[in-house]
Structure 1
Amino acid sequence: MRIALLLRGVNVGGVTVKSADLRSVLTAAGLGDVVTVLASGNAVVTARSATAAAAVAEAALEERYGRRIRVLGIAIEALQEIIDGYPHGEDDERTPYVIFELEPGVVDALSAIETAEEEATARGEGVLYWSNPKGTTLTSGFAKASERVGKGSKDATTTRNLRTLRKVIAAA
């Protein structure tokens, strides 16, 4: 089955994982038909299970980079359902995000955060949909409050722009 692998915290001030290196590491780890998407820690692979593919990828990346890099594995069909479920409008003034839960209960905590009038969140299965005005991704009230929710479990979520997720689907 085709599976999307979403790496957390790479190429954004953490460890740099170049697309060619990611492809090489995942292929050497035994994952099939590896395609990388953008330079933002996204890949599509063939494997029997999303959970197993993520575990294989995490182990191979830790061996290569000497530190744990969280990986979310999700079947392409399930990812498409998440994309299709995005409940907020899209336009050039807003950034559409999907926040994926890597630790149980995090989406519950995030969904309890009050948002400013210009922001919107909505809960999905294992995800939180978030829409915010462009340029406020790191500075909005929700962004600052969500950082506090993640304290003590820094690797509790991974976030993707909805447009990036569509590119992952197209690469599958």
Structure 2
Amino acid sequence: MRVALLLRGVNVGGVTVRSADLRALLADAGLGDVATVLASGNAVVTAGSAATAATTAEAALEARYGRRIRVLGIEVDALQRIVDAYPHGEDDEHTPYVVFELEPGIAEELAALDPGEGESIAAGAGVVHWANPKGTTLTSPFAKALERTAKDRVTTRNVRTLRKVIAAA
């Protein structure tokens, strides 16, 4: 099965994982048909299950970089359903995001937060769909609450990036 791997916190904050290195590392760890997407910690692999792919990737990354890098593994078909379910309109004034929980229950907790002016949030199964005014990704009320309450327990991707991940599958 094709599995998307979304690495949390790489290529920001001092941990650089180059696409070529990530491709080689995942292939050497036994994951098949590895493709990386952009320089933002995204890959698509062939594996028996999403959970196995994520565990394998995390172990290989920790061995290589000497620290835990959390990885969300999700079947590409499931990722497509999440993107298709994005409930907010996409326009030039907003940035469309999906916030993926890395620990059960975080999405529900985040969906209960109040969005700021111009923001929209909606819960899905294990995700929060979020739209925020352009230029406020780090400063909006929801972004600040996200940083405070769930920083290391989620990984966030732009919906446009997720479409590229799906296309790479």
| Same fold? TM cut 0.5 | yes
Deviations 1:68-118 (A, max 9, x none): 000000000000000000000001111000000001111111111101230
Say which SS state the counterpart of residue 13 (structure 1) adopts.
Answer: coil
- Shift in Å at residue 47 of structure 1? 0.4
What does residue 17 of structure 2 align with? 17
Do structure 1's residue 158 and structure 2's residue 119 form an aligned pair? no
- Shift in Å at residue 36 of structure 1? 0.2
Q: Unmatched 5+ residue regions in structure 1?
A: none
Say which SS state the counterpart of residue 155 (structure 1) adopts.
Answer: helix
Q: Distance in 1 between matches of 2:144 and 2:6?
A: 23
What does residue 84 of structure 1 align with? 84
Bigger Cα displacement from structure 2, 139-148 vs 35-44:
139-148
Q: Extract structure 1 runs of 4+ deviating beyond 2 A.
A: none
Between the two proteins, the alignment pairs up a number of residues equal to 169
- Shift in Å at residue 119 of structure 1? 0.3
Say which SS state the counterpart of residue 152 (structure 2) adopts.
Answer: coil
Answer whether contact 1:113 1:146 (CA < 8 A) is retained.
no
Q: Distance in 2 between matches of 1:13 and 1:65?
A: 14
Q: Distance in 1 between matches of 2:7 and 2:146?
A: 19
What does residue 139 of structure 1 align with? 139
Match for 1:116: what amino acid?
G
- Shift in Å at residue 12 of structure 1? 1.2
Answer whether contact 1:19 1:38 (CA < 8 A) is retained.
yes
TM-score normalised according to structure 2 size:
0.98
| C-alpha RMSD over aligned residues | 0.7
TM-score normalised according to structure 1 size:
0.96
Q: Distance in 2 between matches of 1:43 and 1:58?
A: 13
Match for 1:149: what amino acid?
T
Answer whether contact 1:2 1:76 (CA < 8 A) is retained.
yes
Q: Distance in 1 between matches of 2:59 and 2:26?
A: 10
- Shift in Å at residue 141 of structure 1? 0.7
Match for 2:60: what amino acid?
A
Say which SS state the counterpart of residue 143 (structure 1) adopts.
Answer: helix
Match for 1:5: what amino acid?
L
